Structure 1
Amino acid sequence: MPLGILDDNKIEHVPGTAPLNELGRTDLEIAASGIDRGLLKHDATGQIVLVPQPSDSPNDPYNWPRWKKEMFTLVIAYGCGCVGAVGPLLTPAFVPLATQFEVPLQRFTLGCNGSCIVAIAAGSLICNTLAVKVGKRPVYVLTTLGLAVSCFWAAEVKSFGSLAGARTIQGFCMAPFEALIPASVADIWHVHERGFRMAIFNLGVLGGINLAGPIAGSVIQEGSYRIAMHGMGGAFVLMLLLVIFFMPESAFHRHGVINIDTTGHTVELEEESEKVSVQKVEERQPTSTMTEPRNSFTKELLPYSGYWDHVSFWRTLLRPFAMILSPIVQWATLLFTICISWLVLISITLSQIFSAPPYNFSVSSVGATNVSSFIASVLATLVAGAIIDGVAKYMSKRNHGTFEPEFRLPVMITYLIFTATGFFAWGQSLYNQDPWPIPVIVCMGLINLGVQLGTTSVVTYVSDCHREQSAEAFAIMNFIKNMFAFGLTFYANDWIAVQGVRNCFFVIGGTTVAVTLTTIPMYIFGKKARSWVFRHRVIDSVLKKV
């Protein structure tokens, strides 16, 4: 029973469990298999076993130079920031813009943000299918171009219907930078390096959401929403250049690699058409591919690398729906939906709350309320990597050098403490009509501090449990999350108008507490859940190659 996690003895090895470091031992031979530890590749210190094990190819993303990986991650941060910003870009001005377009506030919210959100949900599935078939780079390039074009379109619309159409295209093109990025992070970073990089991804999304309001609010107030949209289009043009130059294809067919984390055996050797179990690994060394030429920079600039997956298009489209059969994905979807959707609700009601008495904020002031959220997200990012990766390494050490994905979950206590407290305090302070620094700085700061840590923990856990199907897992998670958020746009403004902010956010706070407490059984039974998924092949009927 590793640190409170119920063990599973029904298969030799539960996928996701892996040796993380040797701790100075001389007996690490992959349990009782007798495999020479010299077969395993380690980090530069020689103390941490690399999980997953990289191939010998210089073109394997796990073998990229450090600077190349970091640039890839920085582009992710910028891209996710832009995508995070374009969604709530107009929310500070919802009230005056609804008047300008002569539509009710609830209808404007539905057409402007609701259409965007539901398009993200659909785009998550379609873009994931294309990414699995042809690789992620073509999808990133085309959707970034689509984001730039749709922003310039939205800046020049003459009717509310045209604006809703532009926002729909934007939503579809936003999807890859929500659904595919965690899988891209897992494509290039090892398990012990992912926590901080997942935090960077979350900072990009949350930072964009939180900075869009202060910047766009001032631009809209002093100029117009058209200027804000033109500026957003320019940001996506820059993003397109960064994607072209610094985001090469990260999907890679990896062969001749020792598999120590996703197999039902203690260790397997992955070949192109077979998986050789532990008994045969000793008899053969991984095929060396160091003679394979490194791809030139010019070749990596091509929009399509030639990557191809032979699973049929329709079977690939169904893959994300099969992933919901996994208890890990079910739990993560519930937590991820709650983590993010409540932020969407806050963003679409800020103008309604702070434009009215007693605050009477201007458009720019409504936008500025997000500054504290951004600062909280930055602070959480600075500690997220150290906390999430650090806790996992510490618990692995206590577990005799064996890593369990559930070691990512203790960090969820921060989400429970900060975010739930923030929601209760937000509702109460607005009901009391407290001075604006209390709801804006204290409450929103607490909410975003917890959300950043919580979402980072959730997405890292899913990546560790379902490394080979992480793209599909995040596609269905984003689909469900965005459909839920789409539902919120139908009634969020009316809910607050009828029930009041205190009752509304007390319900949200209570729901957050109840959902977060499900982390306890997930931690205890997580290893058994991983074993059950593997043993019963519950997703193989869809995921297997045909």
Structure 2
Amino acid sequence: MENKTNYVSEVEEVINSKTTGIKQQTGGDVLLVSEEGLRKIPIPTDDPNDPLNYSKWKKAGVVLTCCWFSPPETRLTGKSMTAIFSLLSLSGTGTFMQTLIQLYAPETDAHTVSNLSTYPTMVMAFGCLLFLPLSFVLGRRPVFIFVVILALITVITAGTSQNFQSHFISKLFTGIATGATESILPLIISDVTFLSERSFYFGLYWSTQNCVNAALLISLSYLTAAAGWRWYYWLFAIALGASLLLVIFLCPETRFARGLQALNGQAVYTDEFGATHILTDAEARERFGTVQAHTDTTTRKKTYLEELNPWSGITPEALKVLGRAFIKIGKSVSSPAVIFSLLASSISLGIAIGITLIYSTILEVEYHWSPASVGLFNAGIIPACFLAMLYAGWCADKINIWLAKRNGGVHKAEHHLIHMIVPGITGAIGIVLIAVCAHKPEKYSAWMMIVGWAIYEFSFTAILITTTTLAAETVPENPGAALVVVVGGKNLVSFGLSYGIIPMIFSMGYLRALMTLLGIFVGVFMLGVPVYFINPKWRKVAIKN
């Protein structure tokens, strides 16, 4: 016990130092800016294998892989989010939905055919709920490789399907696979980045895939018109096969256990879920009174071949960790900020999916566009995504640092709610523009509808960036748990909205249906005001329990 006592005493000695002048945070707040400058949270260890110590090129490889598979906007094509190629293989059916409706007319009706885009959205939530907790136990890398292979197989079976039923089943399993990647990738990005730069990387993550999606959606309508709808899946099968190589060769295991560390007079601990905790001396003694003695021995750096190993072993006490993961997922649902993030991302996603289900019909029937040209509807997404990345990524990080300085150096998770004001306003504008064009096509140009979609895409992408970052920070115990609820749960909630959009249009018309959704959209974003004041109180209670 002597060594253990000495270890805790060393930490207490640093904590109680009077020379740092740093206040202890409570309720999950993080001292982001101190007298010494910007702090690196989480704190990297001396271990060369710590993902936070990766070289810039190595981190770039990890981020590139994640961006390649990042959850694309379901709105682009009428589907839920997932990897750029795996998810777009789900949602991209919106570019040739009319073709599928005609193809399967002898078997089923148009509303049922649209389930090829809506139901996979729902099952993505189950993929998220299943595979994210496993990534805490088995590691990110083996789970990532498995779900990419699953996505590749199901894309091939969808392309070879001979009837609606087999096509539909393949899309469901693709949804499970893409739901898993959607939940794991933000966690991988969190593993290799610091708190002060996370908005930028999440912005890069959500925006790059949307830009790629937009370019593909424009070209895919021409591809399917010229070569047939099956080539839609062959393209993604080729892309996913190549993408698997990126996962294998550029994305090593990022799960890393960090012990108790001292920084500027505070004890900082990163748990098995990747969550960073700022501890008092009493909390450090209570939690680490039985840990092994601290050692300065540096672990040998793994070789590149060793990093290619798809299996790095099971987390100690795996069943307990898995059980705690599900408990933390349930606990995170009680957070007002998590609920708000879930609702905001769900309503924006649901409306986006609804728009992608109807835009090809509007352009072809009302504006007399050819099926090959409807992909041009997405032309404005590329500049919109760059603007969203700039605003909700780079600018948000700078604003957070500025807000922390005004708050005595302390960063609060609720600061991200301030970033939701602009996307809330622009999203409403985009919905209105699309609604009036769909209602009176003889009066308004189709390009006004395209501009409205670009504005909404900016809003949607900014909302995804901000809600993902907020979810990763708002639950002090476990960012992964909140990501399951927000990233996976939105697919379930948005399913109801997207599933009901066609019946709403049949009964209410384009204008009333979209205005109804607009009212829900605005109502949800108004909830951000009380959440800004209520959630800090919740975090203080949650950290004690």
Same fold (TM over 0.5): yes
Q: Is the contact between residue 187 and residue 480 of structure 2 (CA under 8 Å) also seen in structure 1?
A: yes
Q: What's the CA shift for 1:49? A: 1.1
RMSD: 2.5
Separation of aligned partners in 1, 2:370 and 2:211: 22
What does 1:52-201 correspond to in 2, within 5 Å? 52-80=42-70, 81-102=84-105, 103-110=108-115, 112-201=116-205
Greater mean deviation of Cα atoms: 465-474 or 514-523? 465-474
Checking the alignment, whether the CA contact within 8 Å between 2:277 and 2:476 is kept in structure 1 is no
How far is 1:264 from its partner? 6.7
In the alignment, is residue 531 of structure 1 matched against residue 540 of structure 2? Answer: yes
Q: TM-score, normalised by structure 2?
A: 0.85
Matched, 1:310 2:310: no
Distance 2:454 2:289 in 1: 51
Which residue in the other structure is 2:13 paired with? none
In the TM superposition, 1:186-265 aligns within 5 A as 186-207=190-211, 209-258=213-262, 259-260=267-268, 262-263=276-277, 265=279
Match of 1:19 among 8, 31, 56: 31
- The equivalent of 2:38 in structure 1 is 48
- 2:342 corresponding residue in structure 1: 333
Aligned to 1:298: 305
Match of 2:272 in 1: none
Counterpart-to-counterpart distance in 2, 1:55 and 1:227: 48
DSSP-derived class of the 1:157 partner = coil
Relative to the length of structure 1, the TM-score reads 0.85
Cα distance between partner residues in 1 of 2:113 and 2:345: 26
Alpha-carbon offset, residue 425 of structure 1: 2.1
Query: Could you tell me which of 396, 410, 430 is aligned with 2:404?
Result: 396
Are the structure 2 counterparts of residues 125 and 331 from structure 1 closer, same or farther at C-alpha, using a change threshold of 3 Å? same
- CA shift for structure 1 position 490: 3.2
Q: Which runs of 5+ in 2 are unaligned?
A: 1-22, 71-83, 270-275
**CA 1:468–1:60 in structure 2 vs 1: closer, same or farther (change >3 Å)?**
farther
* Aligned-residue identity in percent: 21
C-alpha distance in 2 between matches for 1:18 and 1:485: 32
* Partner Cα distance (1:494, 1:299) in 2: 55
Correspondence for 1:477 among 486, 500, 508: 486
Q: How far did residue 56 of structure 1 move?
A: 2.0
Post-superposition shift, 1:337? Answer: 1.2
Query: Match for 1:436 among 446, 450, 462?
Result: 446
Cα distance change, pair 276–450 in 1 and its aligned pair in 2 (3 A): farther
Residue identity matched to 1:396: A
Equivalent residue pairs, number? 494
Once residues 131 and 16 of structure 1 are traced to their aligned partners in structure 2, the CA distance between those partners, rounded to angstroms, is 24
In structure 2, give the amino acid aligned to 1:492. I
Contact 2:350 2:495 in 1 (8 A): no
Q: Relative to 1, partners in 2 of residues 1:168 and 1:270: Cα closer, same or farther, differing over 3 Å?
A: farther
Q: Deviations over 1:124-165 (max 9, x none)?
A: 111112112111111110111111111111111111111011
CA drift of 1:13 comes to: 3.4
Extract unaligned runs of 5+ from structure 1: 1-10, 26-45, 538-546
The residue type paired with residue 169 of structure 1 is F
- Cα distance in 1 between the residues matched to 2:198 and 2:282: 23
Q: Helix, strand or coil: the match of 1:250?
A: coil
CA contact (8 A) 1:213 1:367 kept: yes
Task: Provide the C-alpha distance between the structure 1 equivalents of 2:498 and 2:415, rounded to a whole number of angstroms.
Answer: 36
Tell me the distance in 2 between the aligned counterparts of 1:287 and 1:270. 17
Q: How has the CA–CA distance of structure 1 residues 383 and 13 changed in structure 2, closer, same or farther, with 3 Å as cutoff? A: closer
Contact 1:137 1:304 in 2 (8 A): yes
Tell me which amino acid in the other structure corresponds to 2:61: M
Return the alpha-carbon distance in structure 2 between the equivalents of residues 109 and 260 of structure 1. 50
2:478 match: secondary structure: helix
In structure 2, what is the Cα distance between the partners aligned to 1:319 and 1:399?
29
Displacement after TM superposition at 1:485 (Å)? 2.7
